[in-house]
């Protein structure tokens, strides 16, 4: 559930972005690269429907694309209306008709507002690495920040229902931008935390956004069966990237679910958790959880409540998982897929030999595979199903 390592991000960005010299001729070079802080602090107007645009600001993008920051009405972890921020990327040429939409849901970046992708512009993370490749297919790319990341309040980290609402409502907000020409045909995609959000949005779509035609979901190394993931993440053997995720869960859930954080984290880890409200790269040097945390009934209940399983997901799923993943162990992925299949979901499970966490999506071959799979869904082709016995 870790963000892209810096060197990998830089190398992929060099492929995804136009050369700097070419930008000199781009139109509207005076557009801002990111919204100011005031953009994020507007409240939800009374009576605003889910997905209603609250604020929008066009940002600088290379000449082939247009980019907007959006603030829209969604639903927080407490079920109340909340403002959520995000980004919309679309081809710059006029649309001949409604464009297909792909929602790109980002992996873990942190809890503080400064960690939200829209605040640091589209020149990083999913929208920079994969977004332009997707938009070049003629698709609209929508990227939510999720509830509380960028906007006031605690980021609802791995809170499934609010993540699902944030994804679906971001698509609705994009449809309110006439120049984006976002249509109703949708594919969802995400890695790690974003894979979790993708599965939740797909699970909720029929009831929460029935007007959207969700044709498929691409889940790369998702946080799926959270109890299975926790068996690794909550162990001293997991290592610093997973220990960081322990901090994030403890800090976020202590607020949104009223968990006593002092009973979860060691005394040495508590000061690190306090830094998460402002810093994005806080990594413990030692295992941060108290003994027996995994057996706490309240935690076990929260893990199961936020697991995106238990009912059939109507849209077919492309599930990408590396067998060398250091954050979402492959055994947890196999359990998730077994449960998805038992629910009656259609799953194309692809286990990737020697591939780590980030590589489940951020590799040229995997991005090409995701584009091909999404294009097939938009074309109405049937999806493969690797569930046993089908």
Tally the C-alpha atoms within 13 A of residue 284's C-alpha that lie toward its C-beta. 24
Note the pLDDT of residue 19: 27
Give the single-character DSSP code of 286. Answer: S
Tens digit of each residue's pLDDT (9 = 90 or more) over 90-115:
999 999 999 999 999 999 999 999 99
Q: Cβ–Cβ contacts within 10 Å for residue 186, how many?
A: 31
User: What is the percent of the chain where pLDDT is above 90?
Assistant: 77
* pLDDT greater than 80 at residue 5: no
Report the C-alpha gap between 205 and 341 in whole angstroms.
19
Instruction: Using the Cα atoms of residue 52, residue 116, residue 162 and residue 319 in order, give the sign of their dihedral.
Output: positive
The stretch 303-330 carries a mean pLDDT of 96
Mean pLDDT across the chain: 89
**Tokens for 22?**
């070419």
Note the pLDDT of residue 256: 94
Residue 235: strand, helix, or coil: coil
Report the C-alpha gap between 68 and 35 in whole angstroms.
10
Band of residue 30 on the pLDDT scale cut at 50, 70, 90: confident
> Would you mind telling me the total number of residues written for the chain in this entry?
390
Tens digit of each residue's pLDDT (9 = 90 or more) over 183-215:
999 999 999 999 999 999 999 999 999 999 999
R_g of the chain computed on alpha carbons = 20
Write phi, then psi, for 50 (nearest 5 degrees). -55, 130
Band of residue 293 on the pLDDT scale cut at 50, 70, 90: confident
Contact 314, 213 (CB under 8 A): no
The fold for domain 6-225+314-378 equals: Rossmann fold (3.40.50)
The stretch 220-237 carries a mean pLDDT of 90
Note the pLDDT of residue 25: 37
Contact 194, 219 (CB under 8 A): no
Domain ranges of the chain: 6-225+314-378, 232-304
């Amino acid at each position: 559930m870790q963000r892209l390592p810096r060197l990998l991000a830089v190398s992929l960005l060099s492929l995804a972005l136009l050369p700097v010299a070419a930008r000199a001729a781009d139109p509207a070079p005076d557009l801002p690269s990111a919204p100011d802080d005031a953009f994020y602090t507007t409240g939800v107007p009374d009576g605003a429907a889910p997905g209603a645009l609250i604020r929008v600001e066009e940002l600088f993008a290379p000449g082939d694309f247009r980019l907007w920051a959006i603030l829209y009405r969604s639903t927080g972890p407490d079920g109340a209306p909340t403002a959520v921020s995000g980004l919309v990327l679309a081809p710059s040429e006029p649309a001949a008709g409604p464009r297909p939409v792909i929602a790109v849901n980002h992996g873990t970046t942190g809890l503080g507002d400064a960690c939200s992708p829209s605040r640091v512009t589209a020149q990083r993370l999913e929208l920079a690495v994969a977004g332009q490749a997707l938009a070049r297919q003629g698709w609209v790319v929508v990227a939510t920040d999720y509830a509380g990341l960028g906007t006031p309040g605690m980021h609802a980290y791995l809170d499934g229902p609010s993540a699902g609402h944030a994804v679906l409502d971001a698509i609705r907000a994009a449809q309110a931008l006439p120049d984006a020409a976002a249509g109703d045909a949708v594919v969802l995609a995400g890695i790690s935390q974003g894979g979790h959000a993708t599965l939740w949005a797909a699970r909720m779509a029929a009831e929460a956004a029935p007007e959207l035609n969700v044709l498929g979901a691409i889940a790369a190394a998702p946080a799926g069966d959270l109890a299975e993931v926790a068996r690794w993440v909550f162990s001293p053997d997991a290592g610093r990237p997973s220990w960081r995720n322990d901090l994030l869960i403890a800090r976020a859930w202590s607020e949104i679910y009223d968990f006593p954080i002092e009973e979860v984290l060691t005394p040495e880890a508590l000061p690190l958790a306090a830094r998460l409200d402002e810093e994005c790269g806080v990594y413990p040097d030692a295992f941060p959880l108290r003994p027996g945390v995994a057996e706490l009934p309240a935690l076990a209940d929260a893990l199961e409540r936020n697991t995106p399983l238990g009912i059939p997901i109507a849209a077919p799923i492309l599930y990408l998982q590396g067998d060398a993943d250091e954050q979402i162990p492959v055994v947890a992925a196999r359990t998730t897929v077994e449960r998805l299949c038992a629910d009656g979901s259609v799953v194309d499970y692809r286990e990737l030999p020697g591939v780590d966490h980030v590589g489940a999506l951020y590799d040229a071959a995997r991005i090409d595979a995701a584009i091909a799979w999404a294009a097939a869904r938009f074309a109405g082709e049937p999806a493969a199903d690797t569930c046993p016995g089908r």
